[in-house]
Structure formats: structure tokens, C-alpha cells
Amino acid sequence: MEKAPELHQGDRTDDWGRFLKSRYKKELGEISRLYPHKRSLLIDYRQIERFGKAGITLADELLENPGKVLEDVWDAIKNNQLIRTKDGKEPKSVNIRFTNLPKKTAIREIRSDDINMFVSVEGILRKTTEVRPRIVDAVFKCPAGHFTRKVQKYGKFIEPEGCATDGCTFKKLDLVPKRSTFVDSQKLRVQESPEGLRGGEQPQTLDIDVTDDLTGKVAPGDRVIVNGILRSMQRIVRGEKSTVFDIFLECNSIEIAEKEFEEVEIDEKAEDEIKKLSCDPMIYRMVTHSIAPTIYGNEDVKEAITLQLFGGIAKEMPDGTHLRGDIHVLLIGDPGIAKSQLLRYVVKCSPRAIYTSGQSSTSAGLTATAVKDEFGEGRWTLEAGALVLADMGIAAVDEMDKMQKEDRSALHEAMEQQTISVAKAGITATLKSRCALLGAANPKYGRFDMYGDIADQINMPPSLLSRFDLIFIMTDQPEQKRDLAIAEHILKAHAIGELIVQHKKTPIPGVTQEYIDQQLKPVMPDIEPSLFRKYVAYSKRTCFPILSAEAKEALVGYYLKLRGIAEPNKPVPVTARQLEALVRLAEASARIRLSNKIEAGDAERVIHIVDACLRQIAYDAKTGNFDIDKVATGISKEKRDIVRVIKDAIRDIGGEGRRAAIEQVIEAVASKGFAQDKVREGIDMLLRHGEAMEPKQGIIQLI
């Protein structure tokens, strides 16, 4: 590109000088004080645009010729002596970084015209390499002791052809690392956000070269906006130079989009609204009604999901143990009961949430996988899976019952310890996955059989089920009054949806915005989604409730009642995990009110929810007790008792040989008050588990 006349060049530097003096005096002073710890000047693009007529010219020039602009700004700082370090010297280099660009370019729309332009790209970080020094200014020494400098670019290392000193003929030079200049560098790979993709498109990626104080700032899973200069590099295929060039982004600045509730911006106006809401006596009803309002009913499930969004308090004990605060919820229900809809809605509510389906997820996709590729210069790098990307948020896993056995076991550690340990390809790492899990599954045989044993119809290992704080059985029972209400609700939602679409295409006379809002009332959330997010964020940030004596008493009382101390031989109904779940839920309940104290009302509310859950799964109709063993071990206590009696009967009849006729055994056991079909089931179970065998037809022998 031709260089503009000198006069023109000077004008630009003066413009930048005036701009920096008027708008960035404070920031420049800060760099002067803190250099070299702070060595980046962040300039907001919108500020440049607002800087009168000159500002618009400067802003346009930045987009089209960023290399020259960066030099101009640096000249302006030098000429006007805007930065003086403590010892009065000029700083060697200050990074000039531009943020808040107006136009974001989609990764798939980057074309050859964009090369050497200033572009802004948005996406999710897929992977990062470690931060390593890269040489930018290499100093070489020849045997005669002369020094030669060579500035290095991104990519291949360039050596000088010979000594640069006049009259010296040495060609072979050695690098002197001590005199050379290095800069921290890191490579990132950004993938475009999946939201805007059409059907069969695969999300595309772009490599980003990050240097100096931007390195090590971001982690995989973050949503970022990267601003920088697009550069190209010639591809080399098997030593041959290709005509196709690769592109990468020379990063100028990174803006991290909000990734956790911690980072949701809350202004004073929103804070006042939140405080006003928290004092509303109907707050629980409002919050519950703000979750998936298009889905009718399911109040208890929605309340549980609300508690999950607010979450309990994660505690670090002085001895280093970590008590989780995240609440895990599992919904098991007949098809067509809107489980997936609920999951999708929750993912929208939470700033850092990942939705995945169990059927298509492998354990590596959920946890982390080790990949060897060009990106890490042929080294193994870790790629984070769904549970790691959802750290500090919610992981919604649909169709959990369809997952492979070995993939499910990946969830155990993530749910209880909230970490994921990887030992693959020479990498041993522990990744954090502090996420709440919201799972959905269908019953074993497609639908629930109300007369069968519900625990038998849940197709999931007991070890996984016991880690969920709340398990909801959502059955689809025909009931005229409720069905009518659901039908009306669905049709109303569809009708207003149709009206909106039609009104958009060709405005319908007589249909005003007020009319549409009025019609939308039943399917609108009580608290609008943006405020709801802020509400959850505010409560997670500021509210850390403490158990009151009454709440403690209520929780312990309920726990002991469940444990049922009266008879020693009753099935053990509840484990200590359930008590921990009660505490977490009570903390979340107090957080909804933004209260710093967990009161008896909170305890009663969560006891009610947990009781409803346990009644569905673990209630043993015969004895009238809760029998958590049904869920926790997959075998109810009654079955275990039968097996013990059968074994005793075989030993009694068979003596030393431990074999007996099956009919005799059935008679002997049935005489003790067990039903014959249950005894047959017990014998089948013994044979199936390999504890007994059938050497001859009709004869059973213990092994």
C-alpha cells in the first residue's frame, strides 16, 4: 500500500495525541504508575467514533489499516510523552488494545478481503495451548564476536544469511538467547456459537495467536469476543509451498462474555426491583411460575428446578474437604410430558448451561478427551467435555436411560466430588465440574405400569440414583379435569402464536400490541427472564443463609422419622445423603427470599418436596414404610428376606449336599407365610446371580 504524504501522517498522530489527552488521561496515568505490571491501554472504539469529525476518520482507518494505526497511536504516546515510568524513562512498549467494535464478523464469513483488516469474532473457546515464550527479536553472534539482529514473525524461525558487519564473511551464526527478546504467546481455538447455524452445518473454527499480557486469561468453555488483525500464512504440504493460505487472527484484545452468575451485570435499578420482589409474600409462586410458563402444571417439578437454579452453598472445610452446594434433580416420566422442554428452558435461564442428550454422548464427550493434533504442535491436548464446560452452571442431560453403562459411570465422580479426573495419553489432570445436573429419563418399558414396582421400572444403576437429591416420577394419568385444562392451555398458546406470526407477515386490522400482550398473559412468566437471571445471580452473590435452631430441629426430626428407629429389622429407609440434600434445598429456599437465615418455613417447604419424591419411588405399600433400599440397591428388603429363607430351606432339606427338590423348597418357604410366586422369583434370582445351580431338572443346589 502506498504511504500517505508525510504531512498527512503527522496529522493522524496529532489527532491521536489530542484524543488520548482528552479521553484517556486517567488510564495513561495508571499505566505510568504501574508499568510494567500494567502495560496495556484499552481504547473503546465507540469513544473514537464520538470524537468529532476526526474521530470518524480515525475509526475507519483503524478497521482498514490497523497496522499503521497502532504505530500512529504509539508515536502519539511517544511524541507527547503521555507515559512516563517511575524512573522517568520512556516505556519500551505498551500494548494498545481496541474493544467494543460495532460489527462482529461470523467465522464462516471471513474472506480474502478481510486479510490485514481489523475484525471482531465471537464464539466459544474450544481449546488452548499452554503459555510459552516466543522469540520476537533474535540476536545472533558470529565467531568473530559481531552481533546481528533479526526480527522474527509468527510461524517459521528466520535466520540471517550471514554476519551483517561490513567485511565479515562468516555465514554460520549462533543464537544468543540472553540478548534476544521473548514474549509470552499462546494459541487459542475459537468455535462459532451453535445458535446461528443452519441444519447440517458444522461449526467452524479459527485459530488465534495471543501474546504478552492477554495469555492465560481464558479457559475452554468461555464465550469470548476476540478483536484482532486477520493474518495469512502460506500452507506447506510435504515440504512443498501451496497456493492455499491459512488464516489466523493476531489478537489485539479479548472480551469475555458473561459466563457465570457471578458476572451478570446488575445496576442499581435492577437491584431495587430485586429487593422489592424478595419482600413479596407470593415470591415462591412467582418464581415457580417464571419457569417454562408455556408448560401447564407440574408445579412441584418447577419448584424443584427453581431451587436447583438458586442452589445451596458450597462449603470448603478447614481439613480440605469440599461439601457440594449444587442440587441434582432427575425427572423420570412417561413420554410426551414435556421433560425436554423443561430442560431446554432451564438452559436458557442459566448463563452457563449445556444441553446434551445421553444417547449421543460418550463418556469422553461428557468429561474430557485427549487429542493429538497440529494445534498443540503434535502434543496431546485436553478438550473439555460438556460437564466441564458447564462448570458453575447447569448441565442438562436428556435421555439418561439410553446412555451406555461405561459412560454413566463418568457421572459418579462429577456429581459427588464435582471434579473429573483424566488419565489419558500421559496427561493426568483433575478438572473442575461444579455444575448442577438436571437429568431426564424414560421408564424401562416406555411407560410406567402403575401396578408394578416403580423401582423396577427405572432403568438406571442404584449408585447413580442415590446421588440425585430429588427424583420425580412424572406419570401421565388420564384425568378429565386436568386434561381439559392442559388442552385449553396448549391450544391457547398455539392460537396466540399463530396470530403473532400472521400479524408479522400482514398486519391484521384491529390487532394491537396491547391485545397481543393481553392474550399472551397466561403463557408469560411472572418475572421476565432477564430480571429472573439477575435475581438468581444477585442471590447467589450476596446471600449465604445460616440454619436456625427451629429449621435444624425440623430437618433432624424428619430425618429420624424416616430412619424409623422403632424396629431394628425394618428396611433402612434413608441414607445420610438425603439429610445433606435436605440442608442444600433449605439453603436454596432461603436464598429465594434473599434471607440470611434458614427458617422453619424453609425446612417445611423442602420436607414437603422430598416427602412427595420419596413417596413416589420408595414407598412400600405392603408394609406402609419407606424403603429406600429399593432405589439405593435395586433389591427391596422383602426380596432379600425371601432369598435368605430359601437358602436356609435348601440347607435344611439337603443337609451336607446342599441340594433339594425345588417343589419341596417352595412348600417349605411358603409355609412360613411367603407367597408362592414370590418364592419362585427368589429361586430364579438365585440361579440368575450364580449363587445356586440346577444340576438336574427340578433340583436346586447351592454353590
Q: How far apart are CA 511 and CA 507, in angstroms?
A: 8
Residue 620's pLDDT is 54
Q: Which residue has the higher pLDDT, 126 or 557?
A: 557
Residue 513: pLDDT over 50: yes
Amino acid at 578: Q
Question: Contact, 596 vs 551, CB < 8 A?
Answer: no
Residue 3's pLDDT is 44
Sign, CA dihedral 263-265-267-271, equals: negative
| 543-632 to CATH, choices 3.40.50, 1.10.287, 2.60.40, 1.10.8 | 1.10.8
Residue 489's pLDDT is 81
Cell 551464526 belongs to which residue?
Answer: 173
Q: How far apart are CA 475 and CA 597, in angstroms?
A: 36
Task: Tell which phi-psi region holds residue 35, choosing left (phi > 0), alpha (psi between -120 and 50) or beta.
Answer: beta
Q: Which residue has the higher pLDDT, 693 or 372?
A: 693
Residue 6's pLDDT is 42
Bridge partners for 576 per DSSP = none
**Could you give the residue ranges of the DSSP H alpha helices within 637-675?**
637-654, 662-670
Residue 205 three-state SS: strand
Beta strand pairing call for 322-323 and 329-333: unpaired
Residue 569: pLDDT over 60: no
- Segment among 162-176, 373-387, 627-641 with least mean pLDDT: 627-641
Q: What is the three-state SS of 121-155?
A: EEEEEEEECCCEEEEEEEEEECCCCCEEEEECCCC
Residues 6 or more apart whose Cβ sits within 8 Å of residue 547: 555, 583, 586, 598
Question: Contact, 556 vs 275, CB < 8 A?
Answer: no
**Fold exhibited by the domain 637-702:** Arc Repressor Mutant, subunit A (1.10.10)
Burial code of 561-586, b = ≥16 C-beta within 10 A, e = fewer? ebbeeeeeebbebbeeebbebbbbbb
**Fold exhibited by the domain 6-99:** mini-chromosome maintenance (MCM) complex, chain A, domain 1 (3.30.1640)
Question: Contact, 280 vs 286, CB < 8 A?
Answer: yes
Residue 19's pLDDT is 79
Q: Which residue has the higher pLDDT, 467 or 262?
A: 467
- Segment among 83-97, 388-402, 597-611, 662-676 with least mean pLDDT: 83-97
Cell 408469560 belongs to which residue?
Answer: 524
- Mean pLDDT score, 351-375: 73
Average pLDDT, the chain: 77
Q: What is the pTM of this model?
A: 0.67
Other beta carbons less than 10 A from residue 4's beta carbon: 12
Identify the CA nearest to 617 among candidates 475, 447, 446.
475
The CATH-assigned architecture of domain 107-257 is: Beta Barrel (2.40)
Q: Where are the beta strands (DSSP E) in 425-549?
A: 427-432, 436-441, 470-474, 546-547
Amino acid at 105: T
Residues 6 or more apart whose Cβ sits within 8 Å of residue 640: 629
Residue 5's pLDDT is 41
- Mean pLDDT score, 268-283: 80
- Segment among 231-235, 272-276, 341-345, 421-425 with least mean pLDDT: 421-425
Beta strand pairing call for 692-693 and 625-626: unpaired
Q: Which residue has the higher pLDDT, 134 or 85?
A: 134
Residues 6 or more apart whose Cβ sits within 8 Å of residue 202: none
Q: How far apart are CA 395 and CA 386, in angstroms?
A: 7
CA neighbours within 13 Å on the CB side: how many for 138? Answer: 18
Residue 310's pLDDT is 84
Residues 6 or more apart whose Cβ sits within 8 Å of residue 331: 301, 339, 342, 438, 439, 440, 441, 472, 474
Sorting pLDDT into bands at 50, 70 and 90, what band is 93? Answer: confident
Residue 4's pLDDT is 44
Straight-line distance from the first to the last Cα atom of the chain, in angstroms, rounded to the nearest whole number: 89
Residue 520's pLDDT is 72
Burial code of 498-528, b = ≥16 C-beta within 10 A, e = fewer? ebeeeeeeeeeeeeeeeeeeebbeebebbbe
pLDDT tens figures, 101-110 = 888 888 888 8
Residue 36: pLDDT over 80: no
- Mean pLDDT score, 491-512: 79
Residue 317 three-state SS: coil
Identify the CA nearest to 45 among candidates 291, 315, 225, 262.
225
Sign, CA dihedral 560-564-569-575, equals: negative
Confirm or reject CATH 3.10.450.50 for domain 291-477, answering yes or no. no
- Mean pLDDT score, 56-76: 81
Residue 260's pLDDT is 54
* Peptide bond preceding 529 in cis form (omega within 30 of 0): no
- Segment among 1-5, 186-190, 290-294, 473-477 with least mean pLDDT: 1-5
In this structure, what is the dihedral angle of CA atoms 560, 564, 568, 574, given to the nearest 10 degrees?
-70
pLDDT tens figures, 185-217 = 888 888 887 666 666 677 788 888 888 877 877
Q: Which residue has the higher pLDDT, 82 or 122?
A: 122
Residue 633's pLDDT is 53
Q: How far apart are CA 340 and CA 355, in angstroms?
A: 10
Give percent above pLDDT 90 in the chain.
Answer: 0
The crossing angle, in degrees rounded to 10, of helices 66-79 and 6-23 is: 70
Residue 555's pLDDT is 86
Sorting pLDDT into bands at 50, 70 and 90, what band is 2? Answer: very low
Q: Which value, in Å, is the radius of gyration of the alpha carbons in the chain?
A: 34
Give percent above pLDDT 70 in the chain.
Answer: 86
Q: How far apart are CA 157 and CA 493, in angstroms?
A: 64
Residue 207's pLDDT is 87
pLDDT tens figures, 536-568 = 888 888 888 888 888 888 888 888 877 764 344
Residue 573's pLDDT is 42
For residue 687, give the H/E element and its range.
helix 676-688
Question: Contact, 301 vs 414, CB < 8 A?
Answer: no
Residue 141: pLDDT over 80: yes
Residue 621's pLDDT is 47
Question: Contact, 16 vs 76, CB < 8 A?
Answer: yes
For residue 274, give the H/E element and its range.
helix 268-278
DSSP secondary structure, 19-40, as one string = HHHHH-HHHHHHHHHHTTT--E
Residue 74's pLDDT is 80
- Mean pLDDT score, 277-306: 80
Bridge partners for 223 per DSSP = 124
Sorting pLDDT into bands at 50, 70 and 90, what band is 456? Answer: low
